Amino acid sequence: MVMETLTNGDDGCKTSNKLARIDARPVQLIISPEPVPYPVALDAMKARAAAIAAGEAEEAIWLIEHPPLYTAGTSAVAADLLSDRFPVYDAGRGGQYTYHGPGQRVAYVMLDLTQRGRDIRCLVKGLEGWIIDTLDAYNITGERRDGRIGVWVQRPDKGMLKEDKIAAIGVRVSKWVTFHGISLNVMPDLTHYDGIVPCGISDQGVTSFEDLGQLVSMPEVDSVLRSTFERRFGPTISASEESLVSTGPRSLVA
């Protein structure tokens, strides 16, 4: 599992194209039009990752939203769950508690690292860079922080040294295939974060495109996510939701 310590230090990606496949085989890009229940998504990811590891399926990025819920990573501390307002699921990824819900773009990334350098630290930095590039397209400055996985935005309007998290990262690697991924706050209800201590960090806040004054649609963000992903990871090809579940659950919509 990928834990927060993997973001420490500067020995991640040594070259800009380290995460791209040499054969330039495209990654399937799948977008679910309706919110997907978390247990269904988790089962589908596991099935797809296993199929990729077995050489039976293509790599995939899955862009979805979830109904409001909290997930607990392997380092979650019980005291950081402040409310039972929403369902809580064990995610099986690294990290602590996080929130998913409408208005948040979740990108589940199922990549074969045997074709992409076998470097998990590089993967994490690549995912952070993917988010930072996406934010930059909207004139939002996203930043990394040593020891704190995810992407942060400085908030001098809230006080000296204040900053908010705009995107979380939590991945797991099994047989060198990744699953789980990133969550980017576009226009979620930020009060939903009040039920947890997000990622165990209590002295900083959370933000979103909307909170920062950027009113954008999810399809607009998806388009930018696609182009910025391709810069770092290589080409994508559009695929249907059915292609994702050919080895997993047949119904993804609640």
H-helix or E-strand spanning residue 121: helix 120-136
As a whole number of angstroms, the distance between CA 233 and CA 21 comes to 7
Confidence at residue 18, expressed as pLDDT on a 0 to 100 scale: 86
Decide: residue 242, CB within 10 A, 0-12 exposed, 13-18 middle, 19+ buried.
exposed
What pLDDT does residue 203 have?
Answer: 59
Written as six digits, the tokens of 41 are 């998504």
For residue 153, which of 228, 207, 210, 95 has the smallest C-alpha distance? 207
Residue listed under structure tokens 């999810």: 218
Look up 199 and say whether it is catalytic.
yes
Q: What pTM does this model have?
A: 0.89
Q: Could you tell me which residues are beta bridge partners of residue 172?
A: 179
DSSP 28-61: EEEE-SS---HHHHHHHHHHHHHHHHTTSS--EE
Compute φ and ψ for 31, nearest 5 degrees: -120, 120
pLDDT of amino acid 41: 95
The Cα–Cα gap between 17 and 50 comes to: 25
Burial (CB count within 10 angstroms: exposed 0-12, middle 13-18, buried 19+), residue 126: buried
The pLDDT tens digits along the chain (254 residues) read 444 334 344 444 655 578 999 999 999 999 999 999 999 999 999 999 999 999 999 999 999 999 999 998 888 888 889 998 999 998 888 778 899 999 999 999 999 999 999 999 999 999 999 999 999 999 999 999 887 778 999 998 888 888 999 999 999 999 999 999 999 999 999 999 999 877 656 657 899 999 999 999 999 999 999 999 999 999 999 999 887 765 444 344 43
Output the pLDDT for position 185: 98
Q: Please name which of 137, 130, 171, 172 lies closest in space to residue 151, comparing C-alpha atoms.
A: 130
In this predicted structure, what is the pLDDT of residue 243? 79
How far is CA 103 from each of CA 24, 67, 112, 192, 215, rounded to the nearest angstrom? 32, 10, 29, 12, 12
Choice among 2, 199, 225, 245 that is catalytic: 199
